[in-house]
Structure 1
Amino acid sequence: MFGKLFKKKEEVIDVSLTAPVSGEVVALEEVPDPVFSEKMMGDGVAIKPANGEVVSPVNGEIIQVFPTKHAVGIRAENGAEILIHIGLETVSLDGEGFTSYVKEGDQVKQGDKLIHFDMDIVHEKAKSTVTPIIITNTDDMRNIEAKTIKQVTAGQDEILQVTK
């Protein structure tokens, strides 16, 4: 009778990440930056964006929005910490061409708009528009599986399955 009343809340173990940007999926090892390609920050995938809209890949909490708005960190319901890094060497743009729609502490749902960036500015002034999506606390996760999909639509197509 009291079993349901005192039952522990079930912990979320698996989380599916949908693409935060539309475009072509690229293996992390192919990203032209050793910090990402050698997985120094963690495991994940990258996407060559087709447009400048970035949405949340999961339900979770915004844990960081970089002052330059070129990257955002999200903690998923299973504790996975996700970094979406828009372009390569974009920190040097000092926010030019980036608009953030979220701030630290915000709760987001999968598909919510996070950031907009001007593709032309990033293409012209940064090393690349390729956008890594990294699980920065990879060591805390049991498994990170990249899906075999080449073209993705933001907020719709699954790119990673993360198991705690």
Structure 2
Amino acid sequence: METIQPTLRVVTTPEFSSSTIASPLEGNVKELSTIEDEVFSSGMLGKGVAIEPDNGDVVSPVAGVVTTVFPTKHAIGLTSDDGVEILIHIGMDTVGLNGEAFESFVKQNDRVKKGDLLVRADLSKIKAAGLSIITPVVITNSDTYRKIIISHGGKISKGQEIITVKA
């Protein structure tokens, strides 16, 4: 009888002591715990912030790879070059818009630089549908890190440091 040995695949990420995440939007930063969506406010998906955007241009907060673009284009997942996994979820309950208010400029497995345009959201369309434009930005592998520091509150510009992750 032949014995089948499992194949192990080791995935490594570069060692780092800390990594910074930039804001993907211009707007007003709020604590994640203050938003109405319990999945995000409870920290179930990870630690992070919520941003009330001033405009709909969403840029990459890191250099890395696009790991997920939801078919409805309302959410995007990224993995930074140092292994930090980030979810940007544009608006609350916006999946029901079926992509109507979103234009994606990237696809899964695309390589991005910090500041590259990812998605353009029509905030007027989202608001007209009676939905919130609050956009959570979460570190989905938060449990992997010793400390997640929210480095900014209040008004923020795209590219400004918003979260620091400590290994």
TM-score (structure 1 length as normaliser): 0.90
Displacement of 1:115 after TM fit? 0.2
The secondary structure found in structure 1 opposite 2:36 is coil
Per-residue CA deviation, residues 74-108 of structure 1 (Å, 9 max, x unaligned), is 00122111000000000000000100000111111
After TM superposition, the structure 1 = structure 2 runs for residues 32-51 of structure 1, keeping only pairs within 5 Å, are 32-51=36-55
Identity percentage of aligned residues: 45
Q: 1:160 aligns with which of 130, 144, 163?
A: 163
Q: 1:103 aligns with which of 93, 102, 107?
A: 107
Q: What amino acid is aligned across from residue 30 of structure 2 in structure 1? A: V
Unaligned stretches of 5+ residues in structure 1: 1-8
1:67 corresponds to 2:74 = no
Change (3 A) 1:87 1:10: closer
Q: What amino acid is aligned across from residue 28 of structure 1 in structure 2? A: L
Structure 2 CA distance for aligned equivalents of residues 141 and 126 of structure 1 = 37
1:21–1:53 contact (8 Å) kept in structure 2:
yes
The secondary structure found in structure 2 opposite 1:47 is strand
Runs of 4+ in 1 over 6 A off after TM superposition: none
Q: What amino acid is aligned across from residue 69 of structure 2 in structure 1? A: V
2:122 match? 118
Structure 2 CA distance for aligned equivalents of residues 39 and 10 of structure 1 = 26
Unaligned stretches of 5+ residues in structure 2: 1-12
Residue correspondences, number: 155
Q: 1:134 aligns with which of 122, 131, 138?
A: 138
2:32–2:48 contact (8 Å) kept in structure 1:
yes
1:83 match? 87
1:20 corresponds to 2:31 = no
The secondary structure found in structure 2 opposite 1:51 is coil
Displacement of 1:162 after TM fit? 1.0
Per-residue CA deviation, residues 97-132 of structure 1 (Å, 9 max, x unaligned), is 100000111111110000001011111215310000
Structure 1 CA distance for aligned equivalents of residues 86 and 17 of structure 2 = 15
Structure 2 CA distance for aligned equivalents of residues 112 and 89 of structure 1 = 25
Structure 2 CA distance for aligned equivalents of residues 58 and 87 of structure 1 = 21
Structure 2 CA distance for aligned equivalents of residues 137 and 131 of structure 1 = 18
